[in-house]
Structure 1
Amino acid sequence: MNQLHDLADALASSDNQPRTTFEALCAFAQQTVGAKLFTLMTFDACTRGAQRIFSNMPDAYPELGTKPVNETWWTNHVLDGHKTFVANDIDAIAEVFPDHELISSLGCQSVINVPIIVNGTVYGTINCLDAAGHYTPERVAASDTLKLPGAAAFLLNQSISSRSVL
């Protein structure tokens, strides 16, 4: 539970936001479900655009501009259906992610994508990737504990982004 306390402290801090909160969320996810690679992606339902706003491996997965969502059954399942996606081998990952070779080269062959939903709207996804077979039913169930702190992190990011536009 120490990571959850650290996450609450990070969220309350005014230092280097939203990065401070994103890093604490990453540590919490690593403790809770495990993640060699951890990223946060925003999603805009109106434009169908996505943006990576955090990565613990920025050399491989940089935080860059907005890109259109690749419309697949994954999109229907996660972004439109509001359901967590799990794949526990690289072949299942390759079905939905064209960057599967890069994912595998990082030692990751399993993924869990947790949609973050507030008031019926998907704000984005928490993406955890690890070794093949890593996301057991117990870890998938534990991923639900990422939703509330994830919502706080995405709302903080939106609040900071809207202030910078003004």
Structure 2
Amino acid sequence: MPDLTDFLKATESAGNQPHATFAALEALTRRLVGVKLFTVMTADTRGRSSERIYSNMPDAYPVSGTKPYNETHWSEITLNQRKTFVANSIEDIAKVFGDYPLIRSLGCESVINVPIVVAGEVVGTINCLDVAGHYTEERVKAAEALKLPGALAMLLHDRIRRT
């Protein structure tokens, strides 16, 4: 079963970066909180945009160009308050994500979005989706352990992008 040691080994690998690190982050997430659909998005809080940079379901959610922020209570919680957003029903997801029919078609009806914060700024989010009611209080607390690996993955992504 993947753990933090496996994640660190992936970050040290020279090959296939940053994909290898994001795949290891996905494996760690699967172990800690469980996940069906897993994506990682950048966050440009100044420009109010984001970009999907990793997806375990690229046919449905491809790595893609930038898009404007979802200006709802989601952005207030995740980007401004830097707290994990939780919605455990498709009805609650529909209040903030217009692509809820696609989400539901993939068998997902709950979501947590974990903000990745570096130097006081949200630089991205770890997005986990699963069946209705999946993200219990215990799983949301466990997701806090993803923040440090998420920050390392984003810093690696940024470094590779700049070179």
What TM bracket, shorter-length normalisation? over 0.9
Structure 1 residue 132 displacement after superposition: 0.4
Q: In the alignment, which residue of structure 1 is the partner of 2:72?
A: 72
* Matched residue SS, 2:95: helix
- Number of residue equivalences: 163
Q: In the alignment, which residue of structure 2 is the partner of 1:106?
A: 106
Are the counterparts in 1 of residues 126 and 150 from structure 2 also a CA contact under 8 Å? yes
Q: Give, as a single letter, the amino acid of the residue that structure 1 aligns with 2:156.
A: L
* Matched residue SS, 2:114: strand
1:120 aligns with 2:123: no
Distance 1:61 1:96 in 2: 17
Structure 1 residue 63 displacement after superposition: 0.2
1:44 aligns with 2:44: yes
Distance 2:93 2:117 in 1: 23
TM-score (norm 1): 0.96
* Matched residue SS, 1:34: coil
Distance 2:2 2:109 in 1: 28
Distance 1:68 1:107 in 2: 26
1:79-123 alpha-carbon deviations (Å, 9 max, x no partner): 111010001110000000000000000000000000000110101
Distance 1:70 1:94 in 2: 12
* Matched residue SS, 1:96: coil
1:162 aligns with 2:153: no
Structure 1 residue 3 displacement after superposition: 2.4
Aligned-CA RMSD value: 0.9
Structure 1 residue 45 displacement after superposition: 1.3
Q: Please show how residues 82-101 of structure 1 align to structure 2 within 5 Å.
A: 82-101=82-101
Q: In the alignment, which residue of structure 2 is the partner of 1:18?
A: 18
Identity %: 59
TM-score (norm 2): 0.98
Q: In the alignment, which residue of structure 1 is the partner of 2:5?
A: 5
Distance 1:148 1:31 in 2: 16
* Matched residue SS, 1:134: coil
> Where in structure 1 are there 5+ consecutive unaligned residues?
none
Distance 2:47 2:85 in 1: 22
Distance 1:70 1:151 in 2: 22
* Matched residue SS, 1:63: coil
Distance 1:76 1:162 in 2: 29
Deviating beyond 4 angstroms after TM superposition, the runs of 4 or more aligned structure 1 residues are none
